[in-house]
Amino acid sequence: MTEKKILHVGCGGDPLPEWAGAYTETRLDIDERHNPDILASMVDMGDIGKFDAILCVHALEHLYAHDVTKAMKEFHRVLNDGGNAIVMVPDMEDIKATEDVLYISPAGKITGLDVMYGMRSLLENQPHMAHKTGFVKDTLTKAFQEAGFSKIIVNRLLNYNLMGVGIK
């Protein structure tokens, strides 16, 4: 039996979710403070080998719109044929630029302004956490399509999240 490998892109300090326990994790992040296995940008991951799956949770929104396609093409490039990319981003469809609390995350209260621009309480010390682009269901689907993925599914989830899955 071959070992299944998952690339955890923009891993930050977050552990791999329990459901991904069937995979051996390789962690990629741009911030060395998170002790990633690979210190790189998701828009240019270099010669890192091939993976069976990619998990990118709340990292793609930290790129400018023109870099989203580059990152998604990188995801496609490092996936084995038949591999899948799982991407979660904030769902901007119903967001208003207010201080109204939308939900409570493990990091604290999240307002519409936090969803739009990044969690403002973190930005002074972690400027790379700023949100530089936003997604709705159609734009996340288009990002998968432009990168060459097939069998794309994008769904709206609770707490203003979008989850997309694309198969290479």
Give per-residue pLDDT as tens, 74-86: 999 999 999 999 9
| pLDDT over threshold 70, residue 1 | no
Nearest CA to 135 out of 28, 63, 43 is that of 63
Helix, strand or coil, per DSSP, at residue 137? helix
Q: How confident is the model at residue 2 (pLDDT cuts 50, 70, 90)?
A: confident
CA-based max dimension of the chain: 52
pLDDT value at residue 99: 96
pLDDT value at residue 107: 83
Calculate mean pLDDT across residues 21-33.
Answer: 92
Nearest CA to 134 out of 94, 102, 78 is that of 94
Give per-residue pLDDT as tens, 70-113: 999 999 999 999 999 999 999 999 999 999 999 998 888 999 99
The angle, 0 to 180 degrees and rounded to 10, between the axes of the packed helices 137-146 and 65-78 is 50
Mean pLDDT of the chain: 94
Calculate mean pLDDT across residues 115-124.
Answer: 92
Task: Give the burial class of 8: count Cβ atoms within 10 A of its Cβ; 0-12 exposed, 13-18 middle, 19 or more buried.
Answer: buried
Complete domains list, the chain, with CATH: 5-92+133-167 (3.40.50.150)
Please tell me whether the overall predicted TM-score, pTM, comes out greater than 0.85 for this model. Answer: yes
